[in-house]
Amino acid sequence: MTGQQVSKRTLARAAVAATLLVLTGGGATAVAMDKSVTITVDGETRELNTFASTVGAALDAAGLRAGEHDALAPASTASIGDGSRIVLKRGRLLRMTVDGRSREVWTTALTVEEALRQLGMHSSGAVVSADRSRRIPLEGMALDLRTAKVVTLVDGGAKPREVATNAATVEELLRELGVALEQSDTVNPANGTPLTSGSRIEVTRNRVEEVTEKQKIDPPEEKVDDPELVKGTTKVEDKGEPGEKTVVFRVTRVNGKETAREQISVKVTKEPKPRKVRVGTKPVVDGAVWDRLAQCEATGNWAANTGNGYYGGLQFNKSTWDANGGGQYAEYPHQATREQQIAVATKVRDGRGGGYGAWPHCADKLGLPK
């Protein structure tokens, strides 16, 4: 073979064949048993010359072994021949925390990105603790994954708003948004609750505070009998003056709305001046006559108000009522008592010389002097 290029492989095989020829006496058989096999381990390829007849034996010859979490093709028991290709992908343990929940998974992926795809976790917008292009070491690695999610936040009774976040728990979301819980504030669900897309988080603002208010004190009423006033009528002699007090309350509010109020203290800062009222004790004169007149004018209804411009049992118009002092009793006649209406009617009658001419129709009907 002088003048020809001899490859290292050919020389190696010739050496093996010569050795076997001495041992077996059959050179052709020895050459046939020697094989060239390509083994790819985690993407790296190596060549192996072996007499192994199966994949498993070839791996043993190369100092390799397929574990329970590795991927091997062809299978370990498969036969091999010259030129066979063997692919071994070794398993790597990922200690993953996905949105706050821990789990362990095995993968034959070589990079973080490839592992996420293999595990079906390659979601758009997810945040990963390691660079996606990072190669996963054979001993495995820890990986934190925060998926993208859209949640609804209601803060203190305000209008609900949608928030895009990678937060794993309610607490992380509130911290991310700068939403602080103060005093007796509560959140539902609780802080440690894992978030999922579509979660609804409600923050309730509970406040208890002291509130100081100034309040008026109504003047007390002092009544004095007056024999000059017709019974059933009153006259205010002194309106008096309201007093003032300072009141401190403990007020509870939920989302800005008052839900409870408790008085803590009260201090009078100004005493009220009493309101003095004279109460008539004079018997009603001719009460029976006025009752008969009211029966005729308004069917005895002292609160009559038909909308015709005349009011009360004796059907006063507003101008007559006011001109004869009715305003001291009520704005309109029908709002006054029977006795008060009679008191005004008596003034009207006496002002006309003692007759009932102000009620001409009923005076004629009842035979009363005009």
- Residue 31: per-residue pLDDT: 46
Cα separation, 160 vs 182, whole angstroms: 20
Neighbours of 280 (CB within 10 A): 20
CA torsion, points 306, 309, 311, 315, in degrees to nearest 10? Answer: -110
- Residue 7: per-residue pLDDT: 39
- Residue 125: per-residue pLDDT: 84
- Residue 25: per-residue pLDDT: 41
Instruction: Note the pLDDT tens digit of each residue in 248-297.
Output: 999 999 999 999 999 999 999 999 999 999 998 988 778 999 999 999 99
In the predicted model, residues of the chain with pLDDT beneath 70 are 1-32, 123
Tell me the residue type at 282: K
Q: What angle, 0 to 180 degrees and rounded to 10, lies between the N-to-C axes of helices 287-298 and 338-351? A: 100
- Residue 322: per-residue pLDDT: 96
